[in-house]
Structure 1
Amino acid sequence: MSGRRSVFRPCIDLHGGQVKQIVGGTLSDNPDELKTNFVSQKPPVEFARLYRDRQLEGGHVIKLGPGNDEAAKEVLAAWPGGLQIGGGVTDKNAAAWIDAGASKVIVTSYLFPDFKFSLQRLQSISSAVGKDRLVVDGDKWFVAMNKWQDLTEMEVCQESLDLLSHYCSEFLVHAADVEGLCQGIDEALVTKLGEWCRIPTTYAGGAKDISDLDLVNRLSNGGVDLTYGSSLDIFGGSLVKFDELIKLSGSA
């Protein structure tokens, strides 16, 4: 990955059909535990159009729980081939999401029945859409599933990433314990991802300053891209301006 620079990758987190920024560790089936930093009054499709108009490719749309399929389909239709989709993706519905306009599908929970990694399931979904259309999503040092609530047995390390990379074309890594807190990135994790990952990788969690993009670039030697969430002005934040970020990223 040497010779390239880390860039900004946009996101759209859908919860109840709305764009929200949620503190990752509070996302569960109990609504009383949910902590939300931002709920957009704009329809989700407007964010897809914004990213399309700025040609910000490689962004991810994550469906957090039920009630998001209609909004997700509208988002993908607004920019066919421009966004990835995750949340409830299996070998049975992955191809349909590609047909709906997703550039790639993102999978986590399906790979871990009873919290145990299933190589057979990974092979099945990879066969369903093709390696080039598959992204595997994980959390920090252990892969997390079910809206980041349940840790699985798979440690994120050189060996596990090498195995996964035989069947997918990209990694998305959520540091759920810092997600939505705007307290800074997990520098140790980003450094290790830069060492371990041999395919495109995006890190999400804790970015709070425009300089974090340069920090991720330095720590990962340009091998890891960065997603900004709650700190970004388009998500109600006051720490990072969207227009300045995409200029720095070279995506303007």
Structure 2
Amino acid sequence: MTQFRPCIDLHQGKVKQIVGGSLNDKGAKENFISEYDAKYYASLYKEQGLLGGHVIALGKGNKAESLEALKAYPQGLQFGGGVTARNASEFLNAGASHVIVTSYLFENDEFSWDRLDKIKRETGTERLILDLSCRRTNNGWSIATNRWQTVTSTAVNKENLIELADHCDEFLIHAADVEGLQSGIDEDLVRLLGEHCTIPVTYAGGARSIDDLQKVHQLSNGKVDLTIGSALDIFGGKGITLEECIHWNKQHA
């Protein structure tokens, strides 16, 4: 059954909601900057019993906040953002249930099986999440790295979803073209994930109301979970409340 999954997005040391496709070295278009720190949100999610959420560090200057969040909700949050084979164990030891990896898996914009093997030796498949965040192309979707600015040649398709599922515990997939826009989910992508993912998968991008939880549930036959960011009241949104999401999860547990 489709579940709501919470998030904490960190940019320049602050909890923010941004337009994903705008992120670059100079900054990003911001939808919301919170007056609260990452520890506050981690504690809130822990108090409400919300599972499987993620902390994403978008660029530099976010490590201290990330570690505080993981400390506040040990084993309750996943961590992503600059994760490599060299530092993965640090975040797992700090309290992350899993680490999330994308850009490290690519060398010269090509997928590296060698790097995947290296990080698996540090995490095991059971504590590794592959972030297959992507952009639309003429042929479907391709994984986007480097803060979603570099579109690689690795497609998000049936074959790759099935093959990569053997190497991790979950997938996390941001639809970068609609991330932060509250313009509706990428229905075709959600349908594809529901058809071909054999492990847990969380989709993020474009959600704007409780109806999107129902829509993801229907399109994926309940196999895909949904992260809601900018539309959520705790991030300044007006489309859906955290209370509604918690109620949904309880109804569809």
Q: TM-score, normalised by structure 1?
A: 0.96
Does residue 24 (structure 1) correspond to residue 36 (structure 2)? The answer is no
Off by >3 Å, runs of 4+ in structure 1: none
CA distance, structure 1, for counterparts of residue 193 and residue 56 of structure 2 = 21
Query: 2:74 is matched with which residue?
Result: 80
Q: Paired residue for 1:6?
A: 2
Counterparts of 1:172 and 1:178 in 2: how far apart (Å)?
15
CA distances 1:4-60 after superposition (whole Å, capped 9, x unpaired): x100000000011110000000000023xx210000011111000000001111001
Partner of 1:104: 98
2:153 counterpart SS class: strand
The separation in 2 between residues aligned to 1:143 and 1:136, in whole angstroms, is 11
Matches within 5 A, 1:155-234: 155-234=155-234
Q: TM-score, normalised by structure 2?
A: 0.95
**What amino acid sits opposite 1:10 in the alignment?**
P
Q: Among 32, 35, 46, which residue is 1:38 paired with? A: 32
Identity of aligned residues (%): 54
Runs of 5+ unmatched residues, structure 1: none
1:15 corresponds in structure 2 to 11
RMSD, matched Cα: 1.1
Match of 1:131 in 2: 125
Provide the secondary structure at the position in 1 that maps to 2:4.
Answer: coil
- Larger mean CA deviation between 128-137 and 144-153 belongs to 144-153
* Map of 1:66 onto structure 2: 60
Tell me, which stretches of 5 or more residues in structure 2 are unaligned?
135-140
Rounded to whole Å, the distance in 2 between the matches of 1:119 and 1:220 is 29
- Alpha-carbon deviation of 1:139? 2.2
- Which residue is 1:149 aligned to? 149
Moved more, 93-102 or 157-166: 157-166
